[in-house]
Amino acid sequence: MPNPLYDTLFAPGRESDRAFLIKADGATLTYRDFHALAARQANVLKSAGLVAGDRIAVQVEKTPEALALYAACVMSGIVLLPLNTAYTLAELDYFITDSGARGVVCDPAIGPQLQKLVGAGRVMLTLDAAGAGSLSHQAAQQPSDFPIADRQGNDLAALLYTSGTTGRSKGAMLTHANLLSNAQTLADLWRFNSDDVLLHALPIFHTHGLFVACNVTLMARSSMIFLPKFDLAAMLRLMPQATVLMGVPTFYTRLLGEQSFNRKLVAHMRLFVSGSAPLLAETHMEFEARTGHRILERYGMTETNMSTSNPYEGERRAGTVGFPLPGVDLLITDPETGVPLKQGETGMIEVRGPNVFQGYWGMPEKTKAELRENGFFITGDIGRIDDDGYVHIVGRAKDLIISGGLNIYPREIELLLDEQPGVLESAVVGVPHPDFGEAVLGFIVPRSGARPDVIAIRDVAAQHLARFKQPRELILLEELPRNTMGKVQKAALREAYKSRFMAG
């Protein structure tokens, strides 16, 4: 019986003694052992009464056992709902209730509280940061063979909830075909092979760490050095054993802060990939000067997996996210009318392809509003395509500032601020203003030991930006608020400074 993800990603390793996961202490888990672990977990889920199509909510720390649970869900046809470990009990209650999850896997520490919150009638299992808990205890008693569930390409494999910064979190429905198409494309595009060793320090509750990093590794029969989290000392120690690193910009800025991070250390590496948040052009240049490697930046989101990538061979252009992936159509459209714009013009990014999700769980109207009948998904990202075909991300539509009736894209201002002496990074938001509706407010994070001259920076802004785009005020911060994937939380900045220009 067919099961697209299992047949392509997991079945080929069933009898392989190649190393799949390598822990920080050097202990390894072979493909054969990983498959057996997942099969035992799948038997636990089946014994508990869960069947194909059921949803299972999972909030656990990153361990080999947690990753095996993804494979167990694929084997049994259960829809995986991975959840950020930072979510509160109240947030978990929403996700579990909204998804109608019949199963829950959580840390033993919150098991009793969560059980009380979500009520009876749901399968409750536990898994801790050491890989122990009721799931592992029961799995140890189960056989390592499992009858693989019959699944089709359009059957759901995962339900990933968006961050919900502009309202209720939405569950993006991802199918076997969605995930498989992206894994196949990226493994080929980035030249993955069985000799690769991926240094994996990303979380696995997110598209980047789970469906890009892990699926591409499985597709190529590669190995992963599987770190529980980003640990700078461990990264530096283990990098000579790796060939590829996938990270967020914070990874690269932290690495560059260490003198021991040099060409000799990365001599064995062939590829550095960055995503989930914009990478500063300055970081690109400093990284290349230090290591001789040019970081490959790509673009994706929860609803689409990956949609674009800078080329493996050819110019990896700083400040861009490269070209649409093979099989992916990308348009820049007028945000109001949806009419395609000319090349070079700035507008809404829309994408269509086998990577694009099936819609939002239980939200048909929201799905209809964002997923066109012709298959194009309205991403909410503002961008443009330059004369050479490279895609540039200008910002999120929700971050657009409208001051005195004029549209202002924060990214344009941030790029200018980032270039100024003593500035590590910046963020620009719109906050309420009694006369203009919104005013531009800028935030600057100084480089270590530096004190940027705010007056001088304002003068530079006056020379290069129209008056309506110039920040009304520049505020120095020690750091910008970020989520676990390194994205700046502009909503938090807007909320904290919403009264900056309002009377009283």
Mean pLDDT score across all residues of the chain: 93
Identify the three-state secondary structure at position 7.
helix
Query: Which contiguous run of DSSP H or E holds residue 183?
Result: helix 176-189
Which residue in 138, 140, 96 sits closest to 119, CA to CA? 96
Determine the distance from the C-alpha atom of residue 313 to the mean position of all C-alpha atoms in its chain, rounded to a whole number: 24
Q: Of the ranges 7-11, 430-434, 459-463, which is most confident?
A: 7-11
| DSSP secondary structure of 486-503 | S-B-HHHHHHHTTTTTS-
Buried b (16+ CB within 10 A) or exposed e, 15-29: ebeebbbbeeeeeeb
Long-range contacts of 326-334 (CB under 8 A, 24+ apart): 326/185, 326/189, 327/181, 327/185, 327/353, 327/354, 327/355, 328/352, 328/353, 328/355, 329/353, 329/376, 330/385, 330/391, 331/376, 332/383, 332/384, 332/385
- What per-residue confidence (pLDDT) applies to 167? 56
406 pLDDT more than 80:
no
77 pLDDT more than 60:
yes
Report domain extents, the chain.
4-188, 230-396, 401-496
Buried b (16+ CB within 10 A) or exposed e, 53-90: ebbbbbbbbbbbbbbbbbbbbbbbbbbbbbbbbebeee
Which CATH architecture group holds 230-396? 3-Layer(aba) Sandwich (3.40)
| Band of residue 11 on the pLDDT scale cut at 50, 70, 90 | very high
CA distances from 284 to 236, 273, 288, 421 (A): 19, 11, 6, 17
Please tell me the distance from the alpha carbon of residue 491 to that of residue 482, in angstroms, as a whole number: 10
Range name among 12-16, 30-34, 274-278 with the lowest pLDDT average: 274-278
DSSP annotation of 55: E
Longest dimension (CA), the chain: 71
Q: What is the pLDDT of residues 178-189, one digit of tens each?
A: 999 999 999 999
- The fourth-level CATH superfamily of domain 401-496 is ANL, C-terminal domain (3.30.300.30)
Task: Please name the amino acid found at residue 259.
Answer: Q
Q: What is the pLDDT of residues 137-192, one digit of tens each?
A: 999 999 999 999 999 999 999 999 986 444 578 999 999 999 999 999 999 999 99
**Could you tell me the two tokens for 463?**
């020379």
Please tell me the distance from the alpha carbon of residue 450 to that of residue 443, in angstroms, as a whole number: 15
Which CATH architecture group holds 4-188? 3-Layer(aba) Sandwich (3.40)
Task: Please name the amino acid found at residue 242.
Answer: A
Range name among 20-34, 169-183, 255-269, 274-288 with the lowest pLDDT average: 274-288
**Could you tell me the two tokens for 90?**
């109240």
In this prediction the pTM is 0.85
Q: Do domains 4-188 and 401-496 have the same CATH topology?
A: no
- What per-residue confidence (pLDDT) applies to 497? 93
Q: What is the pLDDT of residues 358-398, one digit of tens each?
A: 999 999 999 999 999 999 999 999 999 999 999 999 887 78
**Could you tell me the two tokens for 343?**
């090349």
| Band of residue 349 on the pLDDT scale cut at 50, 70, 90 | very high
